[in-house]
Amino acid sequence: MRPVLLAVCLLTRLPIRIPGEVRETHLAAAVAWFPLVGALVGGLVGAVEWSGTAVAGPLAGPALAVVAMTLVTGGLHLDGAADTTDGLAGGRDHEKALAIMKDSRVGAFGALTVALDVLTRFALLASVAPARRWPALIGSAVAGRSAVVWAVARFPYARAVPGLGSHFARRVRPADLLSAAGLAAAATGALALLGGWRAPIGLGLALVAGALASRALNHRLGGLTGDTYGFVNEVAELAALLGWASRWSP
């Protein structure tokens, strides 16, 4: 139970307390439950979207969903994406890029990233049929966290000085990776009953986009960091929403 609660604490701002001492092994084990936390986040945000659409119309729901996602997660992934683009844009080499990413201030490219992320998320969600938005939000949140699990398991930590991300990088056991994959597959299978092939299409697009982003970041930075995990999550989530919004899937 502790790894599950820890995963919720790491990825959300929900008021959860962890009893006892938290060790590095607990942090690594928590990664296996990231897709489950995605389902929780997507479910909560989906409830807000459904309520907003029912009360104020089909555009109010997606707008409120974007706000709710930020509140539930504390903007964690979006902040990481902003820091990552600031570093990539301002750093000529990986050391300079990592130093910029560590700066708490948001630069021009980071602000632009936030604006484009919010705009794209709203537009994609508004393009999903209202009846499918709740499962789309759950599916995209699961897919985003699943892409992060793969990135954590596949690539090393970029910084010489340990950070929170260093407790995860390449410390995920094969059993944890399989557990995460099983949770993602189970959630996608259940969502397929509501959204048809859009569910696996969304997951597939998210995993491909997340893998490409992770590989590019690893090549540029010599590894990944907590900020880049946020970037990967955002890219994967938007790719999943594209699958749910697509007109070519049945």
Q: From its phi and psi, is residue 74 left (phi > 0), alpha (psi between -120 and 50) or beta?
A: left
Q: Where are the alpha helices (DSSP H) in the chain?
A: 2-11, 24-30, 34-56, 60-73, 76-90, 94-102, 108-127, 133-154, 174-195, 198-221, 226-245
Q: Are 142 and 187 in contact (CB under 8 A)?
A: yes
What pLDDT does residue 47 have?
98
**Coil, strand or helix at 62:** helix
- 8-state DSSP, 164: G
* Ranges of residues in the chain whose predicted pLDDT is under 70: 162-167, 170, 248-250
pLDDT of amino acid 163: 65
Structural contact between residues 151 and 214, judged by C-beta atoms closer than 8 angstroms: yes
Q: Which pLDDT score is estimated for 85? A: 96
Q: Is 171 buried (19+), middle (13-18) or exposed (0-12) by CB count in 10 A?
A: middle
Q: State the pLDDT at residue 215.
A: 97
Residue spans of the domains in the chain: they are 2-245
**Residue 12: predicted pLDDT:** 95
pLDDT value of residue 111: 96
pLDDT one-digit tens code per residue, 208-234: 999 999 999 999 999 999 999 999 999
The pLDDT value recorded for residue 162 is 67
66 alpha-carbon distance from chain centroid:
14
